[in-house]
Structure 1
Amino acid sequence: MSSLLTNSTAMTALQTLRSVSSQLSTTQNRISTGQRVATASDNAAYWSIATSMRADNAALSAVSDSLGLSAATVDTQYTALTSAIGDSTSGLTKLQSLLVEAKTAGIDRTKIQADITQIQQQMKSTANAATFNGINWLSTTTGTTPTTFSLVSSYSRVGGTPTTGSITVTTANYTLYSSTQTGILDTVSGTASVDTISISALTDSAADQTTLDGFIAQVTGAINSVASAAADLGAVKTRISTNTDFVKSLMDSVDRGIGQLVDADMNQESTRLAALQVQQQLGVQALSIANNSSQSILSLFR
């Protein structure tokens, strides 16, 4: 039945065109944003998961930055400790060899003491300079330097419960000099500390030779203690490095997971776009044909 009031063919064509236009708009949004789920209205569940995972990734990024800061701090302290140990020309190693040399009968110990004094001053200067971001574990002040430091190392979230992991460092394990003279190099043992050893007044007497033996043993013990502290910091360095690599890999993994949930398949969307554009053009033509069909009614009244 032909009717002037109701054009069912035009209605059908219009509904089809509206549907195609809606799909075309969705596809264009996906292409422009690169996301299949860009808002909660696209897919509430996936959008919520992706939002939480992005927040987790932001926290992991902060952990990565913190690990970088921790690595720099630990490396500074480690470098200073190895410098304090020294070698055949510097540090505790050279100090030990000078004390052994001082046991030689008739040697001028005053001249040897000049070298010892320079080494002592250099080690103290090295410890004082081992500061990064205002932190120094080798030269400490009671009441100012914290007894422990927590280095942030990880972040995880199970359900709604976040957990932050850390590496705890005890300052006293690495202190060479302290305001209370309890460091490895300024703790007094017998008559002097490693920092205050003086041999210029010693002679070849048996008592003074015994004193020299005590100094040598004291320096040897200090070498062992500093080496142990450096080894411990070396282990912390390795752990930080491992955690840094893991956190970066984990961030990449989370990014891939988010992509699987919300990213649009651009190959699929480009194919859909081409098809919808053709459908839209055909819909316009179909609507035009349906609208023109009513013109045939006029011929009935001629």
Structure 2
Amino acid sequence: MTSILTNTSSMVALQTLKGINNNLETIQNEISTGKTVSSAKDNASVWAISKVMESDVQGFQAISESLALGESTIAVAREASETVTDLLTEIKEKIVGAQEENVDRSKLQDDIDALTDQISSIASAAQFNGLNLIQGSDSVNILSSLDRASDGSVTSASISVDRQDLTFDAGVYNASGTDLSGNTSDSAAAAVNTAVTEVLTLSTAQAVDDVLRLQIGDTTVSYTATTTTLNDAADGLTAAINAAGIEGISATVSGAAITLSSTVAFEDTDLTFGSTGSTTGAYTGDNKLEARAETVTFSATAGVSEGDGYRVTIGSQDFDYVAGKGESFEDVARGLKIAIDGAGLGDISTNVTQDSSTGEWILQVDNDGSSLAFSSAGRSDGTATGGLAGVNDIDVTTDEGVSAALSNIETWIDSAIEAAAAFGSAEGRIETQSEFISNLTDSLKSGIGSMVDADMEEASAKLQALQVQQQLGIQALSIANQSPQSVLSLFQ
């Protein structure tokens, strides 16, 4: 049946053409946008996932900028630390040169002062965008990553970089802080210049021609007995000790007792007695002469926290050192030594040593002048001392100053080297993280592209096919629309 009111063929052709046009519009949109999913209506779940990933990409791009800024800041600090190390090495050369007696120490002092001023200038200028990592002690956090958990929550991660204080700041000892005196012990209430003594009493008679030997440190003295009397043996051995000219060691005798006196400041002197002959000689007394210097001994078990300050009082003068982050009692002992040496006290000399049996660090203070009060104390919550404190107090114009500078310069050089090494390690870590973030960002972009980007080869093929289908659809609709006209021939 042919109807002029209902043209079924035309309706079918029209619907087909509409479908072709819709598909053509879709493929044209893919070609123009480059995406198969350009809005939520295209594919809601894929669009949502891609948008989350795109936000992460934006975040990682900001992190890359943060890492670049941090890397540049640390690079400046590393370069500054390396330069300071070189300058300290030059100062060491000047100090070594000042050991000679036929040099102009005042000119060497001028050179050292100039190098010291340069170090101070570097410490002040080593900043990037206002951040200086070789001043102060607070850590700096550099944004390094965004971590997305399975539940969708996001947290940030940072790389912590410790400042390395290379200033001359003396620090601030907080006298009202928590008492830390339990971490130290001092050997006496006064530093005196009197010799340390040890009495050796010969206790076994010897025969004529027996040889008595006493080893004092690295020197051995001997006496060949001419009588069997202990007093004579003591007299003869005492004379041999004094004749040996052992630096800082002398002897007196009373009966069979030999009194050894030592002004050796920083080392114990071992004593070993023996004899050869018909009789084995013996004596009563200790097997060493203790060092004369007074000591401050630091605990081998207690820890050191940032801001812990320790004070040594000599006479009426206080000498302080306040620990920075990550320091030990070795740092404290050496810091106090530098503080005392910097005062230029002519009769006071210092040394730092470690007890091999207990692991305790010991500050030794020797007095070659009149007796002075001596004590130590400790308090928490101070302001840390700069890592190069005391460099600006170097004085090579005196024998005492040269000796102190030579013993302390290695401490300062080690501090600068450790600072440069720490910055180098942090810079390497940030460089690695920056490279990872760059690769991760590329991977995320690739993942987003695989989900939403259009396959242009496929789109091109579809476009050509749909254009042909559109032309055919138009022709089919045209034919279907002409069908009712055939009814007119029935009425002719």
- 2:32 alignment counterpart: 32
Which structure 1 segments of 5+ residues have no match?
141-145, 203-207
Paired residues of 1:67 and 1:152 also in contact (CA < 8 A): yes
Write the distance in 2 (CA, Å) between the matches of 1:135 and 1:122: 20
Would you say 1:293 and 2:483 are equivalent positions? yes
Write the distance in 1 (CA, Å) between the matches of 2:70 and 2:85: 23
**Structure 1 residue 217, shift from structure 2 partner:** 1.8
Cα deviation code 1:3-46 (max 9, x no counterpart) = 01110000000000000000000000000000000000000010
Q: Which moved more, 1:10-19 or 1:213-222?
A: 213-222
Tell me the secondary structure at the aligned position of residue 190 of structure 1: helix
Would you say 1:190 and 2:333 are equivalent positions? no
Q: 1:177 to 1:10 in 2, by over 3 A?
A: farther
Write the distance in 1 (CA, Å) between the matches of 2:109 and 2:31: 78
Q: How many residues align?
A: 284
**Aligned with 1:124 (options 120, 125, 129):** 120
**Structure 1 residue 150, shift from structure 2 partner:** 0.5
- 1:252 alignment counterpart: 442
Paired residues of 2:341 and 2:404 also in contact (CA < 8 A): no
**Aligned with 1:273 (options 460, 463, 483):** 463
Counterpart of 1:46 in structure 2: which amino acid? V
Q: 1:153 to 1:13 in 2, by over 3 A?
A: same
Cα deviation code 1:192-213 (max 9, x no counterpart) = 211221223x1xxxxx2x5422
Paired residues of 1:98 and 1:112 also in contact (CA < 8 A): yes
Write the distance in 2 (CA, Å) between the matches of 1:152 and 1:281: 59
Write the distance in 1 (CA, Å) between the matches of 2:78 and 2:414: 15
Paired residues of 2:82 and 2:420 also in contact (CA < 8 A): yes
Write the distance in 1 (CA, Å) between the matches of 2:4 and 2:117: 107
- 1:229 alignment counterpart: 419
Paired residues of 1:46 and 1:262 also in contact (CA < 8 A): yes
Paired residues of 1:31 and 1:266 also in contact (CA < 8 A): yes
Paired residues of 2:395 and 2:405 also in contact (CA < 8 A): no
**Structure 1 residue 179, shift from structure 2 partner:** 7.2
TM-score (norm 2): 0.56
Q: 1:211 to 1:189 in 2, by over 3 A?
A: same
Tell me the secondary structure at the aligned position of residue 4 of structure 2: coil
Q: Which moved more, 1:186-195 or 1:108-117?
A: 186-195
Paired residues of 2:67 and 2:143 also in contact (CA < 8 A): yes
Tell me the secondary structure at the aligned position of residue 63 of structure 2: helix
Counterpart of 2:339 in structure 1: which amino acid? S
Write the distance in 1 (CA, Å) between the matches of 2:80 and 2:123: 6
Counterpart of 2:452 in structure 1: which amino acid? V
- 1:42 alignment counterpart: 42
Q: 1:282 to 1:93 in 2, by over 3 A?
A: same
Paired residues of 2:395 and 2:401 also in contact (CA < 8 A): no
Q: 1:121 to 1:263 in 2, by over 3 A?
A: same
Write the distance in 1 (CA, Å) between the matches of 2:412 and 2:166: 12
- 2:276 alignment counterpart: none
- 1:150 alignment counterpart: 141
- What is the CA RMSD across the aligned residues, in angstroms? 1.8
- 2:451 alignment counterpart: 261
Would you say 1:70 and 2:62 are equivalent positions? no
- 1:101 alignment counterpart: 97
**Aligned with 1:113 (options 105, 109, 113):** 109
Paired residues of 2:144 and 2:433 also in contact (CA < 8 A): yes
Would you say 1:167 and 2:163 are equivalent positions? no
Cα deviation code 1:257-283 (max 9, x no counterpart) = 000100000000000000000000100
Q: Which moved more, 1:157-166 or 1:250-259?
A: 157-166
- 2:369 alignment counterpart: none
| Structure with the greater alpha carbon radius of gyration | 2
Paired residues of 1:153 and 1:243 also in contact (CA < 8 A): yes
Would you say 1:241 and 2:436 are equivalent positions? no
**Structure 1 residue 170, shift from structure 2 partner:** 2.5
TM-score (norm 1): 0.90
Tell me the secondary structure at the aligned position of residue 339 of structure 2: coil
More strand by share: 2
Paired residues of 2:4 and 2:484 also in contact (CA < 8 A): yes
Write the distance in 2 (CA, Å) between the matches of 1:177 and 1:285: 93
Write the distance in 2 (CA, Å) between the matches of 1:105 and 1:9: 120
Write the distance in 1 (CA, Å) between the matches of 2:395 and 2:170: 21
Counterpart of 2:149 in structure 1: which amino acid? V
**Structure 1 residue 50, shift from structure 2 partner:** 0.2
Paired residues of 2:91 and 2:115 also in contact (CA < 8 A): yes
Paired residues of 1:46 and 1:261 also in contact (CA < 8 A): yes
**Greater relative contact order (CA < 8 Å, ≥ 6 in sequence):** 1
